C-alpha cells in the first residue's frame, strides 16, 4: 500500500479553507504545528478528514480530533484482518504502526 505524501503547500491551503469555513483565524505557526503532527499521513485521507471536520465539528478541530478521524477513516479503508488461526493484527494509533500478537 503506498501513501500520497502530504505536501505542506496543499496542507496549508486545506487548513486555511477549513478555518475560513469555520470562521477561525490561523497563524503560520499553528499551520506548521498541525503539519508537523501529520506530515507522515496520506494526503488523500487527510482530504477526507478535513471534509469530515467541516461537516461534523462544531469548533475548529484540535490535532487529536484530526488524528482520531484519520485513524477512523484509515481503518475503514484497511480493515484489520485475522492472520492464520491464532494471530491478530492491530493498528497502534500512537505509533502509526501495525502490530502482530504473538499467538498461543
Q: What is the pLDDT of residues 26-68, one digit of tens each?
A: 999 999 999 999 999 999 999 999 999 999 999 999 999 999 9
Q: Is residue 96 part of a domain?
A: no
For residue 11, pLDDT over 70 is answered with yes
For 81-102, how does the pLDDT look when each residue is reduced to its tens digit (9 = 90+)?
A: 444 444 455 666 667 666 656 5
CA dihedral for 60, 64, 69, 70, sign (positive or negative): positive
**Which residue in the block uniquely carries the three cell numbers 501495525?**
98
Distance of CA 62 to the CA centre of its chain: 12
91 within a domain of the structure (yes/no): no
* Residue-number span of the structural domain to which 48 is assigned: 8-79
pTM of the model: 0.70
The residues that bridge with 99 in the sheet, in sequence order, are: 90
With respect to residue 95, please indicate whether it lies within any of the assigned structural domains: no
Residue 92 lies in a domain: no
Residue whose C-alpha is closest to residue 8's, from 56, 61, 46: 46
- Antiparallel, parallel or unpaired: β 82-83 and 87-92: antiparallel
- What is the number of domains present in the chain? 1
Determine the Cα–Cα distance for residues 90 and 78; give it in Å rounded to an integer. 11
Amino acid at each position: 500500500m503506498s501513501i500520497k505524501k502530504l505536501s505542506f503547500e496543499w496542507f496549508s491551503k486545506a487548513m486555511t479553507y477549513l478555518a475560513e469555513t469555520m470562521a477561525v483565524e490561523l497563524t503560520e505557526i499553528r499551520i506548521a504545528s498541525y503539519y508537523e503532527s501529520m506530515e507522515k499521513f496520506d494526503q488523500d485521507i487527510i482530504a477526507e478528514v478535513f471534509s469530515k471536520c467541516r461537516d461534523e465539528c462544531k469548533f475548529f478541530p484540535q490535532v487529536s480530533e484530526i488524528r482520531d478521524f484519520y485513524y477512523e477513516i484509515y481503518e475503514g479503508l484497511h480493515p484489520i484482518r485475522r492472520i492464520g488461526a491464532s494471530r491478530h493484527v492491530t493498528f497502534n494509533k500512537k505509533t502509526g504502526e501495525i502490530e502482530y500478537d504473538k499467538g498461543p
